């Protein structure tokens, strides 16, 4: 099977000053396949860029922007995830402990992996008169069992108490 060839006609045009230029149409319009050498066509140009009227100036249309959008969105999501993870790690390493009240222990119905729901633990704690919440989910039920108590210790970032994590400590009951 031979590779598909598309028409890429070259053309010559004179600009407004009468200077002769050569260009290649970077389009895949099948209608241009019927052109033959010597045919007259209307040309649009701006500076060094030229195209046959009704075609695109580049090989790719606006759909290329759509395709290129996905890597940028993916990188932005990865950066956001890494920043969030770093905040939780910072809370774990350098956080201030607080006593939290467990408000829910059970399946996390918002997530399903292979037909299973992870176990979820949610808590509330007060810092400076403001209420903050946190949560932890795991498929390992022994981790949830260690934390299934009325009160647990959480570590929070002093500047941003909403960034918090659970401290696995079995001395609080």
Burial class (CB within 10 angstroms; exposed 0-12, middle 13-18, buried 19+) of 93:
exposed
Q: Which pLDDT value is given to residue 2?
A: 45
The dihedrals phi and psi of 33, each to the nearest 5 degrees, come to -65, -20
Rg for the chain, CA atoms, rounded: 32
CA distances from residue 147 to 3, 14, 28, 73, 168 in whole angstroms, order as listed: 63, 79, 63, 36, 7
Confidence of residue 47 (pLDDT cuts 50, 70, 90): confident
Domain ranges in the chain? 1-65, 92-167
pTM over 0.75: no
Q: Which range, of 11-15, 19-23, 55-59, averages the lowest pLDDT?
A: 55-59
Write the pLDDT tens digit of every residue in 69-102.
899 999 999 999 888 888 888 888 888 999 999 9
For 124, the token pair is 């509330």
For 8, the token pair is 């890429």
pLDDT (average), residues 160-170: 82
Which fold, 92-167?
A: OB fold (Dihydrolipoamide Acetyltransferase, E2P) (2.40.50)
């Amino acid at each position: 099977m031979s590779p598909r060839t598309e028409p890429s006609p070259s053309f010559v045009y004179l600009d407004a000053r009468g200077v002769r230029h050569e260009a290649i149409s970077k389009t895949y319009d099948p209608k241009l396949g019927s052109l033959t050498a010597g045919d007259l066509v209307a040309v649009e140009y701006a500076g060094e860029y030229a195209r046959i009227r009704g075609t695109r100036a580049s090989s790719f249309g606006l759909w290329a922007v759509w395709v290129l959008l996905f890597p940028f969105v993916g990188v932005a999501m990865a950066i956001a995830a890494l920043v969030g993870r770093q905040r939780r790690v910072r809370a774990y390493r350098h956080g201030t402990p607080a006593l939290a009240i467990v408000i829910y222990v059970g399946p996390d119905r918002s997530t399903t992996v292979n037909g299973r729901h992870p176990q979820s633990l949610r808590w509330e704690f007060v810092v400076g008169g403001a209420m903050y919440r946190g949560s932890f989910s795991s498929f390992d039920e022994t981790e949830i069992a260690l934390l299934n108590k009325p009160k647990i210790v959480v570590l929070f970032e002093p500047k941003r108490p909403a960034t918090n994590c659970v401290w696995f400590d079995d001395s609080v009951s």
